[in-house]
Structure 1
Amino acid sequence: MNSMLIPLTRYAQFDGRASRKEFWMFYLFVMLVTVVGYIGMGIGAAMGSDVLTMLFGAIVILFILATLVPFIAVSVRRLHDTDKSGWFMLLGMIPFAGIVLLVFYVLPGTPGDNRFGPAAPAV
């Protein structure tokens, strides 16, 4: 659980490197909370409760907004771990080019030091 929350403590740190575990555990955390929120919205909609649906919708929106900067920061640090510039994040704006980002996120980091600093600490 600790490795899921590390990017929240380094929420605006765009320099350095992030290990695969740090990135993917944070991604899992964000997806789990978002899915639980959507399930709550679905339950509220199935019950016909507009209040419950809107409450869970607001929670999901606030959570996504609160984790947006930490997610961008850990993504940039993950790219740094593979010795790529953080500007590669802009590939996500091109249709189907996000697959290239996925490949970079899955690749192992460069062993030892690279131009972005020492190897990512084992989490």
Structure 2
Amino acid sequence: MIHYFVNPYLNVFKFKGRASEKEFWYFYFMNFTIALILMFTKQFHGIEDVKDYYRIFYFIPLVSLGFRRIQDTGYCGFLFFIPLVNIFLAALPGDPKPNKYGMPRTL
């Protein structure tokens, strides 16, 4: 499960290719959980804006992974920038066959 968290950081500038549903949603919810924990514990660690720094840290890997996730469904990765459309397309199952963005991704 940790590879779902680490792989997007290793492939941070890889916007071509495909990403599985599992990879996208694990990364998204793990980072969401970490941001919530940082937000609720800011009184203990003393850094007021630590959750904002963390959001900056995971924004580019999330966009890169989002591009690859949308491409896995067979659509253009730029649709990731459209609110609500990106969530809908990210929730669609990936194309089980090779598409114009590459072979299906399995971890």
TM-score for both structures, normalised by structure 1: 0.79
**Structure 1 segments (4+ residues) deviating >4 Å:** none
Question: Equivalent residues in 2 for 1:1-123 (5 A)?
Answer: 1-41=2-42, 44=43, 52=46, 55=47, 57-92=48-83, 98=84, 100-120=85-105, 122-123=106-107
Taking the aligned partners of 1:64 and 1:103, their CA distance within structure 2 comes to 22
- SS in structure 2 at match of 1:11: coil
Amino acid at match of 2:66: S
More helix by share: 1
Please report how far the alpha carbon of residue 62 of structure 1 lies from its aligned counterpart in structure 2 after TM superposition: 1.4
Identity %: 24
- SS in structure 1 at match of 2:56: helix
Please report how far the alpha carbon of residue 28 of structure 1 lies from its aligned counterpart in structure 2 after TM superposition: 1.3
Taking the aligned partners of 1:64 and 1:6, their CA distance within structure 2 comes to 17
Taking the aligned partners of 1:76 and 1:60, their CA distance within structure 2 comes to 24
Structure 1 stretches lacking a partner, 5+ long: 93-97
- Root mean square deviation, CA, Å: 1.6
Taking the aligned partners of 1:89 and 1:8, their CA distance within structure 2 comes to 18
Query: What corresponds to 1:95 in structure 2?
Result: none
Please report how far the alpha carbon of residue 90 of structure 1 lies from its aligned counterpart in structure 2 after TM superposition: 2.9
Please report how far the alpha carbon of residue 3 of structure 1 lies from its aligned counterpart in structure 2 after TM superposition: 1.6
TM-score for both structures, normalised by structure 2: 0.90
Residues 27-64 of structure 1: per-residue CA shift (max 9 Å, x gap):
012101101111113xx2xxxx8x82xx0x33212111
The higher radius of gyration belongs to 1
Taking the aligned partners of 2:71 and 2:40, their CA distance within structure 1 comes to 35
